[in-house]
């Protein structure tokens, strides 16, 4: 055990955030700390780091072990550039290098015992230098920077000039390179694109120390962690396995707790009815029996009613007006900013009922495309055509659609006066605003809470084509699951930009990737995209820089949108045919084996007619199998 938290309690005024919280981490273990926004996750990390004191309890870290911490927000100041900032973590290796060079110079001058002493120092230092991976020191720094999404021309940028998100990435790089025995990470994926998150997953999975992560990125947690520590209304509970395993176990526990509470309530009610009946007999014997039952009832430890599982709320909303089948057609769309071409000659279309995710690295132009469709930006060339009766509802990351002076309830009721109070409360409850929560001012809400209000307004609007820019940013896991439910049951059309791979997997029916200035179409969810990414990128969006020497070849690979869809449909059909062929081969081979076994039975061996029948069937099977083998070879 490398870290142990025992009976940690913490309150802010009357609000008890942590109640006797206990958990532990083993060496090299990768664990996640999860819970809704405001549950106390960041507070617990700060207590572990002794940046905040607990009301009671104890934090135990194994003797001699080091610990590193990445907070959500970084106030990083430095006179260095990005590369030198990360290289400074390896200063002890650089000092070792300087000492080795100095010894090499001295060894040219001294002789005898002095030279022997220098040689001994040199041998010790070079051995230590190798153990510390000194020869790969600079390449390690470069690898971490590139993994976190920095390009080489950004290495020379001054740290003080960076945005908050870039500073967080620099701080994360420093922490990873320092190699502490325990790493605490508070929302490490917030400022990373998909490629950088995938890189970080691999890095952490292979990290030699223990890792404790606060994250709402469920895909990331599924890949990296083997233990979940959950904060639920102040109580802490440990679950072995990744996020998906936790979700299954949590559902089973919640179901069992609810059933236990229902059974106990039924038993209490039954006993109370029996007691009332016995007393009504007004006989001494009956009254004594009633009193005995009352004593037994008093001794029962009454279970608390389990809190409602808000993630299981179902919100089904349908647009008032149904659009035409062709919702959006984009033709030869291009956009560039000074010194940066985002995309060129992009074509795609969206049909009614589709849920389409646009993905791609940071800076490729995903949000720009959404703004062009909404008329907030003009393209350099190309056309955007909306279909019949299409009404757009737009969700931006800044929540410009909200009035800061209104309460949550007023924000909904003023825009939708035809809704009853009950209808408004039901919708807000689906987005986790219950009771007096609905009377909070918008200005007092967190970013995640404002996001939920914006989404609630959008789902209620007259729009039948929702365009969402990073809708899951700042949402906790429960809120994401509610949004997934809402979008999955939404009968209109949805186009969104997101980095949340789990969310994309749950909601997208199609993925568009912006890469190498072009758009690649994937008819499936995120798992399908991962499977086909390399193959389809090479066909539809080859790296122009890599192929600029062969312009003829490059132009021939640029198939139009219709051809892309037809090609992918053909590939999908071939895969399905291959699976069917394999299943048929397996079935016939099993029957062929069964015939051999039947013919070996003593009763069958002496039955000429049965032997002839089985032999004939076996010959027919052989012919059929031969055809299937040939078909399989063609498909495979």
Give rounded-to-5 percent helix, strand, coil for the chain: 50, 20, 30
As a whole number of angstroms, the distance between CA 370 and CA 359 comes to 12
The crossing angle, in degrees rounded to 10, of helices 284-299 and 243-280 is 160
* Pair 509, 373 in one domain: yes
Q: What is the mean predicted confidence (pLDDT) over 17-26?
A: 93
SS (H, E, C) 274-332: HHHHHHHCCCHHHHHHHHHHHHHHHHCCCCCCCCCCHHHCCCCCCCCCCCCCEEEEEEE
Cβ distance 521 to 509 under 8 Å?
Answer: no
Other C-beta atoms closer than 10 Å to the C-beta of 208 total 8
pLDDT the model gives residue 397: 67
Within-domain flag for 397: yes
Within-domain flag for 470: yes
Q: What is the mean predicted confidence (pLDDT) over 64-68?
A: 94
As a whole number of angstroms, the distance between CA 237 and CA 465 comes to 41
Per-residue model confidence as pLDDT tens digits over 495-526: 999 999 999 999 999 999 998 888 999 999 99
Q: What is the mean predicted confidence (pLDDT) over 404-433?
A: 88
* Pair 273, 341 in one domain: no
Q: Final residue of a domain: which of 307, 340, 374? A: 307
- Confidence band for 257, pLDDT divided at 50, 70 and 90: confident
The crossing angle, in degrees rounded to 10, of helices 421-430 and 447-460 is 130
What percent of the chain clears pLDDT 70, i.e. is strictly above it? 93
Within-domain flag for 337: yes
Q: What is the mean predicted confidence (pLDDT) over 97-115?
A: 89
SS (H, E, C) 472-517: CCCCCHHHHHHHHHHHHHCCCEEEEECCCHHHHHHHCCEEEEEECC
Per-residue model confidence as pLDDT tens digits over 427-484: 888 788 888 889 999 988 877 788 888 888 887 887 899 999 988 887 888 888 888 8
Domain range enclosing 285: 248-307
* Pair 401, 513 in one domain: yes
Other C-beta atoms closer than 10 Å to the C-beta of 194 total 23
Per the rule left: phi > 0, alpha: psi between -120 and 50, beta: everything else, 212 is beta
Q: Are strands 235-240 and 227-232 parallel, antiparallel or unpaired?
A: antiparallel
* Pair 393, 534 in one domain: yes
Token code pair at residue 374: 């909404």
Q: What is the mean predicted confidence (pLDDT) over 417-434?
A: 85
Q: In what order do the strands lie in the sheet with 510-515?
A: 392-395, 465-469, 493-497, 355-359, 510-515, 518-522
Within-domain flag for 54: no
* Pair 493, 582 in one domain: no
- Confidence band for 57, pLDDT divided at 50, 70 and 90: very high
Q: Final residue of a domain: which of 498, 527, 559? A: 559
The answer on pLDDT for 551 being more than 70 is no
Burial of 94 (0-12, 13-18, 19+ CB in 10 A): middle
pLDDT the model gives residue 623: 85
- Confidence band for 548, pLDDT divided at 50, 70 and 90: very low
pLDDT the model gives residue 18: 93
Helix (H, G, I), strand (E, B) or coil at 411: helix
Other C-beta atoms closer than 10 Å to the C-beta of 86 total 26
Within-domain flag for 214: no
Within-domain flag for 43: no
* Pair 482, 630 in one domain: no
Within-domain flag for 383: yes
As a whole number of angstroms, the distance between CA 101 and CA 118 comes to 12
- What residues contact 162, with CB distance under 8 A and at least 6 apart? 76, 82, 170
Burial of 408 (0-12, 13-18, 19+ CB in 10 A): buried
What φ, ψ does residue 469 adopt, rounded to 5°?
A: -105, 110
Within-domain flag for 298: yes
pLDDT the model gives residue 353: 93
Q: What is the mean predicted confidence (pLDDT) over 59-71?
A: 93
pLDDT the model gives residue 571: 74
Q: Final residue of a domain: which of 539, 559, 579? A: 559
- Confidence band for 561, pLDDT divided at 50, 70 and 90: low
* Pair 291, 338 in one domain: no
pLDDT the model gives residue 565: 62
- Confidence band for 58, pLDDT divided at 50, 70 and 90: very high
pLDDT the model gives residue 550: 46
Per-residue model confidence as pLDDT tens digits over 134-170: 888 999 999 999 999 898 989 999 998 888 888 889 9
* Pair 548, 576 in one domain: no
Other C-beta atoms closer than 10 Å to the C-beta of 628 total 17
Mean pLDDT for the chain?
Answer: 87
Cβ distance 498 to 472 under 8 Å?
Answer: yes
- Confidence band for 398, pLDDT divided at 50, 70 and 90: low
* Pair 406, 264 in one domain: no
CATH of residue 505's domain is: 3.40.50.300
Per-residue model confidence as pLDDT tens digits over 176-186: 999 999 999 99
* Pair 405, 334 in one domain: yes
Per-residue model confidence as pLDDT tens digits over 282-315: 778 888 888 888 898 888 888 887 765 554 555 5
As a whole number of angstroms, the distance between CA 475 and CA 497 comes to 15
Question: Residues for the chain: how many in total?
Answer: 636
How far is C-alpha 115 from the chain's CA centre? 59
As a whole number of angstroms, the distance between CA 204 and CA 163 comes to 25
pLDDT the model gives residue 461: 82
pLDDT the model gives residue 59: 94
Q: For the ranges 16-30, 31-45, 399-413, which has the lowest average pLDDT? A: 399-413
The answer on pLDDT for 121 being more than 80 is yes
Token code pair at residue 114: 């002095």
pLDDT top residue among 251 and 359: 359
The answer on pLDDT for 2 being more than 60 is yes
Per-residue model confidence as pLDDT tens digits over 572-596: 788 788 888 888 888 888 888 888 8
pLDDT the model gives residue 11: 93
Per-residue model confidence as pLDDT tens digits over 469-489: 988 887 888 888 888 888 888
pLDDT the model gives residue 544: 54
pLDDT the model gives residue 402: 84
Number of domains in the chain: 3
* Pair 293, 273 in one domain: yes
* Pair 360, 265 in one domain: no
pLDDT the model gives residue 563: 64
As a whole number of angstroms, the distance between CA 593 and CA 363 comes to 59
As a whole number of angstroms, the distance between CA 335 and CA 514 comes to 13
């Amino acid at each position: 055990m490398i870290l142990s938290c025992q009976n940690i309690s913490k309150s802010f005024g009357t609000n008890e955030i942590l109640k006797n919280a206990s958990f532990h981490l083993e060496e090299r273990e990768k664990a996640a700390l999860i819970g809704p926004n405001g549950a106390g996750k960041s507070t617990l990390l700060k207590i572990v780091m002794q940046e905040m004191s607990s009301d009671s309890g104890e934090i135990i870290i194994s003797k001699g072990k080091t610990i590193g911490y990445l907070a959500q927000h970084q106030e990083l100041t430095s006179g260095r550039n990005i590369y030198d900032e990360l290289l400074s973590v390896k200063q002890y290796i650089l000092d070792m290098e300087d000492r080795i060079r100095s010894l090499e110079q001295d060894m040219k001058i001294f002789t005898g015992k002095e030279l022997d002493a220098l040689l001994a120092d040199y041998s010790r230092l070079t051995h230590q230098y190798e153990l510390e991976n000194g020869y790969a020191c600079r390449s390690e720094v470069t690898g971490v920077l590139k993994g976190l999404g920095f390009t080489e021309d950004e290495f020379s940028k001054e740290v003080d000039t960076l945005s908050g998100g870039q500073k967080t990435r620099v701080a994360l790089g420093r922490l990873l390179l320092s190699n502490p025995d325990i790493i605490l990470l508070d929302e490490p994926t917030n400022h990373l694109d998909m490629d950088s998150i995938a890189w970080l997953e691999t890095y952490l999975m292979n990290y030699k120390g223990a890792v404790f992560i606060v994250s709402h990125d469920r895909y990331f947690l599924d890949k990296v962690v083997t233990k979940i520590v959950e904060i639920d209304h102040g109580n802490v509970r440990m679950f072995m396995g990744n996020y998906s395993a936790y979700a299954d176990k949590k559902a089973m526990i919640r179901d069992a707790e609810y059933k236990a509470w229902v059974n106990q309530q039924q038993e209490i009610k039954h006993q109370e009815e029996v007691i009332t009946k016995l007393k009504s007999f007004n006989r001494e014997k009956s009254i004594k029996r009633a009193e005995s039952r009352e004593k037994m009832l008093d001794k029962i430890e009454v279970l608390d009613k389990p809190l409602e599982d808000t993630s299981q709320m179902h919100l089904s909303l349908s647009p008032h007006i149904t659009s035409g089948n062709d919702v959006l057609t984009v033709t030869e769309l291009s956009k560039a900013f000074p010194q940066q071409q985002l995309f060129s000659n992009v074509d795609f279309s969206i049909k009614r009922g589709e849920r389409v995710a646009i993905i791609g690295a940071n800076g490729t132009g995903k949000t720009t495309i959404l703004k062009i469709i909404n008329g907030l930006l003009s393209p350099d060339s190309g056309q955007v055509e909306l279909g019949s009766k299409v009404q757009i509802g737009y969700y931006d990351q800044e929540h410009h659609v909200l009035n800061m002076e209104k309460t949550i309830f007023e924000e909904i009721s003023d825009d939708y006066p035809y809704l009853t109070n009950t209808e408004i409360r039901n919708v807000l409850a689906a987005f986790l605003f219950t009771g007096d929560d609905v009377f909070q001012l918008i200005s007092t809400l967190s970013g995640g809470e404002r996001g939920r209000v914006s989404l609630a307004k959008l789902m209620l609007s007259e729009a039948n084509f929702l365009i969402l820019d990073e809708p899951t940013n700042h949402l906790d896991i429960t809120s994401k699951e509610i949004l997934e439910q809402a979008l999955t049951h939404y009968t209109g059309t949805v186009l969104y930009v997101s980095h949340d791979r789990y969310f994309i997997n749950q909601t997208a029916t199609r993925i568009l990737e912006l890469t190498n200035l072009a758009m690649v179409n994937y008819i499936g969810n995120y798992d399908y995209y991962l499977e086909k990414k390399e193959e389809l990128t090479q066909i539809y969006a080859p790296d122009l820089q890599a192929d600029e020497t062969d312009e003829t070849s490059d132009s021939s690979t640029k198939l139009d949108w219709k051809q892309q869809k037809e090609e992918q449909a053909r590939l999908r059909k071939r895969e399905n045919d291959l699976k069917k062929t394999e299943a048929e081969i397996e079935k016939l081979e099993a029957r062929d084996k069964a015939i051999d076994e039947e013919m070996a039975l003593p009763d069958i061996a002496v039955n000429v007619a049965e032997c002839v029948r089985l032999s004939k069937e076996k010959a027919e099977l052989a012919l059929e199998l031969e055809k299937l083998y040939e078909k399989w070879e063609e498909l495979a």
